[in-house]
């Protein structure tokens, strides 16, 4: 563990494709989606135990979620919870954390990770991160972790890389492609030249800030003009002023796709961005008919390859379904074909339009998931 290693956990999303369990006021990163006994952000926080001191871990989240973060991560220093007044994507989020960390430590190296991803094989994850940190320590590089694709997923971004390794498994990045169609995804898989974009980055604080200065000049200037406000009683006012006018832009589009010093390490640990109910199904325990069930009062009859999420208080009986998502909460019942999972985000928008915001917020501001059941086949 290096004293100059820092971690930035991004936890500001609303997880709309996990609706109706994930709600605007209590999104998926704060839920135990897989029934493991820990929420996704708790798993992410624990993942960095051996890579960085606790005082070097920062969480960037919405102002609305600061209290949830504080409650779920009691060991995290309160001053390390950085709050955003608006959702402006990963560009401003990473700029904020990077300026904050650079002010503290000019030699800081940063690992940036989303709060809601699933990573198995902890040891391999730590090994890859260590190699990445060693590389950026010696090079002015923006490095990302790529996942070797196992099937032509159309919901992930892809990164093309030069197969010739530069140093200890580190490769030069050629192109980024965002969510290709099925045909292109299949071509990417067969070529062996593409990796899934994990959204996990490693770089020196000064390297990413230098790149933001070059490629997101307006954003850089907004932070540079008031950087002395960081760590003072004016910091929240500073961030409010910046977020009121800054561009909504991802770090991928704003910097990574434009920079020439971008590198990647192909990783073999099992990974999922847990972006949809189908990805949850892939990583949950299953019964003999490939149903993944969360909820102790669910009965599945002549049903196969479904993901079912229900409370323990209500008996749910399903018969004759195949490849469906069934989510039952106290106020919403969702029944959707798994192949239409990417449309759930659109359904949420339609609900908001026709029914108002009532169903976008959780009942009593508290949702819990139940342990995964794997024995209910009749």
- Residue 177 has a pLDDT of 92
How many whole angstroms separate alpha carbon 77 and alpha carbon 73?
9
**Over the chain, what is the mean pLDDT?**
92
- Residue 295 has a pLDDT of 85
What's the rounded mean pLDDT across residues 181-201? 93
How many whole angstroms separate alpha carbon 58 and alpha carbon 108?
13
- Residue 364 has a pLDDT of 61
- Residue 361 has a pLDDT of 93
Q: Is the pLDDT of residue 175 over 90?
A: yes
| pLDDT tens-digit series, residues 115-145 | 999 998 999 999 999 999 999 999 999 999 9
- Residue 359 has a pLDDT of 95
Residue with more model confidence, 311 or 67: 67
What is the model's pTM? Answer: 0.91
Give the Cα-Cα-Cα angle 239, 240, 242 (nearest 5 degrees).
60
| pLDDT tens-digit series, residues 58-69 | 999 999 999 999
Query: Is residue 202 within 8 Å of residue 109, measured between CB atoms?
Result: yes
Task: Report the share of the chain in percent with pLDDT over 90.
Answer: 80
Q: In which band, very low, low, confident or very high, does the pLDDT at 372 lie, cut at 50, 70 and 90? A: very low
- Residue 354 has a pLDDT of 96
Residue with more model confidence, 166 or 196: 196
DSSP labels, 13-33:
---GGGTTTSBTTB-GGGS-T
Q: Is the pLDDT of residue 329 over 80?
A: yes
| pLDDT tens-digit series, residues 233-264 | 999 999 999 999 999 999 999 999 999 999 99
Q: Is the pLDDT of residue 157 over 50?
A: yes
Q: Is the pLDDT of residue 318 over 90?
A: yes
Which residue intervals of 79-230 are DSSP H helices? 90-104, 122-138, 182-191, 205-215, 217-225
Can you tell me whether residue 89 is helix, strand or coil?
coil
């Amino acid at each position: 563990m290096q004293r100059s290693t820092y971690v930035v956990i991004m936890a500001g999303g609303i997880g709309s494709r996990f609706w109706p369990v994930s709600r605007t006021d209590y999104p998926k990163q704060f839920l135990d989606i897989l029934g493991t006994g820990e929420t996704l952000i708790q798993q992410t926080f624990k993942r960095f135990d051996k890579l960085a001191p606790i005082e070097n871990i920062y969480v960037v989240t919405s102002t609305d979620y600061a209290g949830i973060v504080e409650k779920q991560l009691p060991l995290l220093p309160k001053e390390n919870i950085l709050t955003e007044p608006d959702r402006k994507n990963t560009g401003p989020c990473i700029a904020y954390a990077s300026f904050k960390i650079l002010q503290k430590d000019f030699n800081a190296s940063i690992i940036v990770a989303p709060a809601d991803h699933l990573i198995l094989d902890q040891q391999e994850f730590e090994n890859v991160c260590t190699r990445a940190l060693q590389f950026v320590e010696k090079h002015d590089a923006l490095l990302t972790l790529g996942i070797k694709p196992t099937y032509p997923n159309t919901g992930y971004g892809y990164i093309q890389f030069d197969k010739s390794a530069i140093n200890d498994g580190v490769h030069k990045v050629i192109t980024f492609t965002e969510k290709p169609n099925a045909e292109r995804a299949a071509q990417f898989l067969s070529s062996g030249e593409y990796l899934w974009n994990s959204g996990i980055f490693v770089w020196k604080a000064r390297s990413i800030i230098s790149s933001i200065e070059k490629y997101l000049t307006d954003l850089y200037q907004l932070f540079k003009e008031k950087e002395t406000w960081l760590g003072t009683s004016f910091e929240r006012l500073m961030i409010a002023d910046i977020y009121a006018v800054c561009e909504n832009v991802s770090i991928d589009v704003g910097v990574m796709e434009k920079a020439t010093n971008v590198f990647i390490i192909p990783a073999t640990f099992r990974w999922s961005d847990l972006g949809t109910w189908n990805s949850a199904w892939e990583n949950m325990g299953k019964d003999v008919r490939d149903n993944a069930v969360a909820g102790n009062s669910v009965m599945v009859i002549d049903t196969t390859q479904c993901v079912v999420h229900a409370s323990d208080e209500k008996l749910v009986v399903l018969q004759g379904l195949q490849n469906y998502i069934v989510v039952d909460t106290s106020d919403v019942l969702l029944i959707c074909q798994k192949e239409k999972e990417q449309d759930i985000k659109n359904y949420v928008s339609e609900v908001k339009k026709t029914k108002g915001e009532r169903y976008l917020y959780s009942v009593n501001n508290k949702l819990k998931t139940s342990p995964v059941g794997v024995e209910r086949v009749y």
